[in-house]
Amino acid sequence: MSETAENMVLVINSGSSSIKYQLLDPDSGVVAASGMVERIGEDEGGLEHRVDGETTERREPIADHAAGLRLVFDTFAATGHDLVREGVRAVGHRVVHGGEVFYRPTLIDDDVVASISELAALAPLHNPANVAGIESARALLPGVPQVAVFDTAFFHGLPAAAKTYAIDAKVAAAHGIRKYGFHGTSHEYVSGRAAELLGRDPAELNQIVFHLGNGASASAIRGGRPVDTSMGLTPLEGLVMGTRSGDLDPGIVAHLARSAHLDIDRIDALLNRDSGIKGLSGVNDFRELRRLIASGDEAARLAYDVYIHRLRRYLGAYLIELGGVDAITFTAGVGENSPQVRADALAGLSRFGIEVDPVANTAESRAARFISPSGAPVAVLVVPTNEELAIARAARQLVERRG
Ligand code: ADP
Question: What Cα–Cα distance (Å) separates residue 296 from each residue in 127, 208, 291, 308, 334?
Answer: 41, 33, 9, 18, 21
From the CA of 214, how far away is ligand 1's center (Å)?
6
Spatial neighbors of 58 by CB under 8 A, at least 6 apart, are: 46, 47, 49, 71, 75
Q: Are residues 314 and 382 in the same domain?
A: yes
Question: Residues marked as binding for ATP?
Answer: 20, 211-215, 285-287, 333-337
When divided into structural domains, the chain yields a total of 2
Q: Are residues 124 and 232 in the same domain?
A: no
Q: Are residues 210 and 115 in the same domain?
A: no
Burial (CB count <10 Å: 0-12, 13-18, 19+), residue 125: middle
Could you tell me which residues are beta bridge partners of residue 9? 24, 90
The length of the chain in residues reads: 403
Q: Are residues 342 and 201 in the same domain?
A: yes
Q: Residue 48: CB within 6 Å of ligand 1?
A: no
Determine the Cα–Cα distance for residues 255 and 32; give it in Å rounded to an integer: 51
Q: Are residues 96 and 39 in the same domain?
A: yes
Residue 75 lies in a domain: yes
Q: Report the pLDDT value the prediction gives residue 17, as an integer from 0 to 100.
A: 92
Residue 126 belongs to what domain range?
9-150
- Given 151, 228, 326, 344, the catalytic residue: 151
Residue 395 lies in a domain: no
Q: Are residues 77 and 194 in the same domain?
A: no
Q: Are residues 57 and 134 in the same domain?
A: yes
Residue 173 lies in a domain: no
Q: Are residues 141 and 190 in the same domain?
A: no
Residue 66 lies in a domain: yes
Mean pLDDT by 10 residues, the chain (403 residues): 82 95 96 96 94 93 96 94 93 96 96 96 91 96 96 97 98 96 98 98 98 97 98 97 97 97 96 97 96 98 98 98 98 98 98 98 96 97 98 96 77
Supply the pTM of this predicted model: 0.96
Domain CATH code at residue 42: 3.30.420.40
Q: Which one, of 8, 11, 18, 72, lies nearest residue 40 by Cα?
A: 18
Q: Report the pLDDT value the prediction gives residue 1, as an integer from 0 to 100.
A: 47
Q: Are residues 352 and 204 in the same domain?
A: yes
From the CA of 331, how far away is ligand 1's center (Å)?
10
Q: Are residues 130 and 215 in the same domain?
A: no
Determine the Cα–Cα distance for residues 315 and 353; give it in Å rounded to an integer: 13
Q: Report the pLDDT value the prediction gives residue 2, as an integer from 0 to 100.
A: 54
Q: Report the pLDDT value the prediction gives residue 108, as an integer from 0 to 100.
A: 98
Q: Residue 333: CB within 6 Å of ligand 1?
A: yes
Asked about 151 being catalytic, the answer comes back as: yes
Residue with CA closest to ligand 1 atom 22: 337
Q: Are residues 68 and 200 in the same domain?
A: no
Instruction: Tell whether the torsion through CA atoms of 180, 184, 188 and 193 is positive or negative.
Output: negative
Q: Residue 291: CB within 6 Å of ligand 1?
A: no
Residue 366 lies in a domain: yes
Residue 4 lies in a domain: no
Q: Are residues 189 and 243 in the same domain?
A: yes
Residue 197 lies in a domain: yes
Residue 393 lies in a domain: no
From the CA of 277, how far away is ligand 1's center (Å)?
13
